[in-house]
Amino acid sequence: MKPARPTRSWLGQFIALAAIWGSSFMFMRIGAHEFGALPAAGLRVTIAALFLLPLLLARGLGPQLAQHWKKVLFVGVFNSAIPFVCFTFALLSISTGLSAILNAGVPLFGALVAWVWLKDRPHGLRVLGLLIGFAGVALLAWDKASFKPDASGLSSGWAVLACLLACLCYALAASYTKRYLGGLPALVTATGSQLGATLSLALPTLWLWPQQNPGTGAWLALLALGVLCTGVAYILYFWLIETIGPARALTVTFVLPVFAVVYGLLFLGETVSLWMLLCAAIIICGTALSADLIKLRRG
């Protein structure tokens, strides 16, 4: 296994990715309410693909994409298409802070998938971390999930389940990337995955396109989602996977809720309950143990 680079060489990119992805929940919420969940996700990946493809071709990486096109397109379904639809759907009925905290459970799912699929079996404190982390997710879901429809006909219960499905998809995609796409430049994986997501969501996006044209704010939100929160973010993300491994790269998901909560408070007027913060702390502690961050700090 390739050793991780010194912390200083990747910490800046790690924090930048957390800040960028933290803002994605705010932009998804704005876009989803006018475009609808599925068209918002479809437009997001389309913009990202259009942004990334010229960069890839300008760097002469087209042949590498052509060589591995099946695998990189496939990973886009699980790393972008399904999760983006899940989160945009969830944000129609729950807050950005809650969805981001649930998203912090991604490394827990990642550790389980790596255990079952890659035979990366956790030991000692990592097993304890999994139990603690999933307990925090369960407590938060139990408190916030209600399957009683609200005034809009949606329910927080389905939204919570959608977030958890997205977490599982991210975990599957990370292990798939490690096993089948190791060594590929981050730009190739990022571009190919967005092209795959675009193709898989194209027909549903056109079919469900809103009859009334969304406003300027919604279009700008989707533009920010596509270029910044997807195009730029996935270059950083796949670079981190290649540099420090999928388990550690996935831990960005328990830093981004801090940014998501702050953005929600400042720009959307959302509130955060003490219970949400307590569950978030439990999830983060469990994730830190399951991802072996204690060992990382010692190294």
User: In sequence order, what DSSP letters do the residues of 32-86 get, joined into one string?
Assistant: HHHH-HHHHHHHHHHHHHHHHHHHHHHTT-HHHHHHTHHHHHHHHIIIIIHHHHH
Candidates 81, 86, 126; CA nearest to 107 is: 126
Q: Does the structure show a pLDDT above 70 at 293?
A: no
Among the residue ranges 68-72, 129-133, 182-186, 202-206, the one predicted with the least confidence is: 129-133
Whole-prediction pTM value? Answer: 0.85
Determine the average pLDDT of the residues in 227-252. Answer: 86
pLDDT for 37: 95
Among the residue ranges 121-135, 169-183, 197-211, 271-285, the one predicted with the least confidence is: 121-135
pLDDT for 298: 43
Answer yes or no: are the C-beta atoms of 39 and 84 closer than 8 Å: no
Question: pLDDT higher for 137 or 123?
Answer: 137
E-strand stretches of 123-182: none
Candidates 133, 77, 130; CA nearest to 101 is: 133
The DSSP secondary-structure symbol of 148 reads S
pLDDT for 238: 87
Per-residue tokens: 41: 């996700």
Determine the average pLDDT of the residues in 166-187. Answer: 90
Answer yes or no: are the C-beta atoms of 141 and 159 closer than 8 Å: no
> Where is mean pLDDT largest: 117-126, 136-145, 153-162?
153-162
pLDDT for 299: 42
Q: What's the mean per-residue pLDDT of the chain?
A: 87
The whole-angstrom separation of Cα 8 and Cα 239 is 15
Answer yes or no: are the C-beta atoms of 132 and 282 closer than 8 Å: yes
Tens-digit pLDDT profile for residues 39-54? 999 999 999 999 999 9
How many helices (H) and strands (E) would you count in the chain? 16, 0
Per-residue tokens: 108: 């827990």
Q: Does the structure show a pLDDT above 90 at 156?
A: no
